Chain A
Amino acid sequence: MLEINPRNALQWSRFGSRAIFGQAIFSLAEKKKNLMVLSADLGKSSGLTRFIKSYPDNYLNVGISEQNMIGMAAGIAREGFVVFATSFAPFLSMRSSEQIRMNMGYMNANVKAVALGSGVAMSFLGNSHYGIEDASIMRSIPNLTVVSPADCTEIVKTVFAAADHEGPMYIRLTGETNNPLVYKEDYNFEIGKAITLREGSEITIVANGTMVYHSLEAAKLLESEGISSKVVNMHTIKPLDISIIDKAIESSKLIVSVEEHSIIGGLGGAIAEYKAQFQNVPPQLTIGLPDRFGKVGEHSYLLDKYGLTAKKISDSITKRYRDLS
């Protein structure tokens, strides 16, 4: 496995999510002899160039045919291979949504669907290429595990964990090059087990993907205003680590979800669904992308526009928190 240290972590964050996914696969191939990687003509865009060159027998470019790719991936997986299949988030989660449902959900195929450039990372490529709805759709399919890693180091951790995890997964890569850095040292990563990155008493902020970093920064700003907030990296959207939500219900005055995904049906939706069964629970502030197709632009421009920067997250939380009392 790739060595996790501050130097590597910094370099990976510069290279970005897709390049690091490819590096992780390259490294995985050294130990997993039964690895197969499929892509719908996006091998290079998945950072796989070196892997493809070194392990040509373990890679298939299936052409621009996501539906066929998922069926093929399932066919290969059931003969004992661990299969990763990549495409951009909307094409994978929507074009081949029903193939994912039948093959990975219904038949439980050991396929890891890897969604590239989810959220609004595809910047000027526009809404056609954004992953706004994917977590919502994917997590509603029975048997699927849905993970959205916080940074490049966590992408490495996720790839290795996914390879050892028997069952279908949707891995949602957010961020681009110069991905914000959350982890500099190795740590314990388990699918389905959220990680508390910062302790705090008044508010619990639950985030995933790129929003983990921005939430940590927001928590610092909140602290300077005298508000104490806990920050949780809920990398696994499904199954949701409800123990974290139980604790938040007990001890926090406000629960905040932050994600680079539509405010409908993603992490915020998952938390709200769970909370809805209880009486007298803290209110929830759902921060995410709005339910509309907006004008496009650079990733940082869009995050700012949609209130997904540390400052704007902190401002939204402060306002909501002040309104409570």
Chain B
Amino acid sequence: MNVKEMKTKAKKIRRKILDVTYSCNSSVHIGGALSMVDIMATLYGDVLKYQPKNPEWEDRDRFILSKGHCAVGLYGTLFESGIISEEVYLTFQKNGSDLTAHPVMNIPLGIESSNGSLGQGLSMGVGLAIAARIKKKKHKIYILLGNGECNEGSVWEAIMSASSFKLDNLIAIVDNNGFQNEMEPSQEILDTSDFEDKWKSFGWNVCSVDGHNISELYKAFIEFNVKNKPKVIIAHTLKGKGVTFMENNNEWHHNRLTKEKYKQALKELGEI
């Protein structure tokens, strides 16, 4: 998939997220789902190795959504990547559904791990990367974290561990949209300045990119590899990206989309 196609994919995923947020008629973690879309479009566009019709393929790359509350962004991507059907997709946040607000491990549906409790995905990623190395497997492990999630101490245990075990088959991505749960920006809640340096000083190979620039993202995924070092891509993003009234407005961290707002959002997104 080329960059143009990945951009279209991103637009389609955004549309899918808006559709289901509106149709499920309940609050959804939409802001952080929209901020991660370009990362997901790049990953599932031309980075991850997977077989849409065979999600259990042993040699697939593993993707874990550690910022599990943004599951709708994963589901939209899985739909646009031909892994889950429209029928399954539309069960999102319905009674008894497999697609709930936080992912529930379901490999046939392409959901690699149960998340929702922040700060846990990277540790599993470290384990998966070690197991792949022992088994001499070539697949890679990708973990998407949120910046707010990095408040959790367990994340830093995992960060230390990944570099200590020299896991160059492990790639972390931080969707750094600058917000978390409360209204004020993350930086005012817990000071995480010099974020890139923190990862660097923990022994990681750090790439800092515009998280909405697919060419930059793609390059960061494919290039800049350092032997024996895990890589982190700090993706600077806008929470609510693509819908101006949601952008940088943390009212949309978890909210319901009315018909009027939905129409407005679609208009902004434009034709696909």
Chain A residues near B117 (CB-CB < 8 A):
98, 101-102
Q: Are A75 and B134 closer than 8 Å at their CB atoms?
A: no
Chain B residues near A36 (CB-CB < 8 A):
134
- Looking at the complex, which one of A73, A98, A101, A102 makes contact with B127 (CB distance below 8 Å)? A73
- Looking at the complex, which one of B105, B119, B128, B135 makes contact with A75 (CB distance below 8 Å)? B128
Query: Which residues of B88-115 are within 8 A (CB) of A?
Result: 104-105, 113-115
- Looking at the complex, which one of A57, A72, A81, A103 makes contact with B126 (CB distance below 8 Å)? A72
- Looking at the complex, which one of A71, A73, A81, A102 makes contact with B158 (CB distance below 8 Å)? A71
Is A318 in contact with chain B by the CB < 8 A criterion? no
| Closest Cβ neighbor of A79 among chain B residues | B131
Tell me the interface secondary structure of chain A in the complex.
helix
Query: What's the tally of chain A residues with a CB closer than 8 Å to chain B?
Result: 28
Q: Are A81 and B124 closer than 8 Å at their CB atoms?
A: no
How far does the alpha carbon of A102 sit from the alpha carbon of B124 in the complex, in Å?
11
Chain B residues near A78 (CB-CB < 8 A):
127-128, 131
Chain A residues near B126 (CB-CB < 8 A):
68, 71-72, 75
How far does the alpha carbon of A75 sit from the alpha carbon of B134 in the complex, in Å?
12
Chain A residues near B127 (CB-CB < 8 A):
71-78
How far does the alpha carbon of A261 sit from the alpha carbon of B132 in the complex, in Å?
39
Is B86 in contact with chain A by the CB < 8 A criterion? no
Chain B residues near A68 (CB-CB < 8 A):
123, 126, 154, 157-158, 161
1/0 per residue, CB under 8 A from A, across B116-155: the answer is 0101111111111111101100000000000000000110
14 A-B residue pairs with CB within 8 Å = A63-B157, A67-B120, A67-B153, A68-B123, A68-B126, A68-B157, A68-B158, A71-B126, A71-B127, A75-B123, A80-B131, A101-B117, A102-B117, A103-B120
User: With contacts A68-B126, A75-B130, A76-B134 known, what are 19 further pairs, Cβ within 8 A?
Assistant: A63-B164, A65-B160, A67-B120, A67-B153, A67-B154, A68-B157, A71-B121, A72-B126, A72-B127, A72-B158, A75-B126, A75-B129, A79-B128, A80-B131, A81-B134, A102-B115, A103-B120, A106-B114, A107-B113
**Chain A residues with a Cβ under 8 A of chain B:** 36, 57, 60, 62-63, 65, 67-81, 98-99, 101-103, 106-107
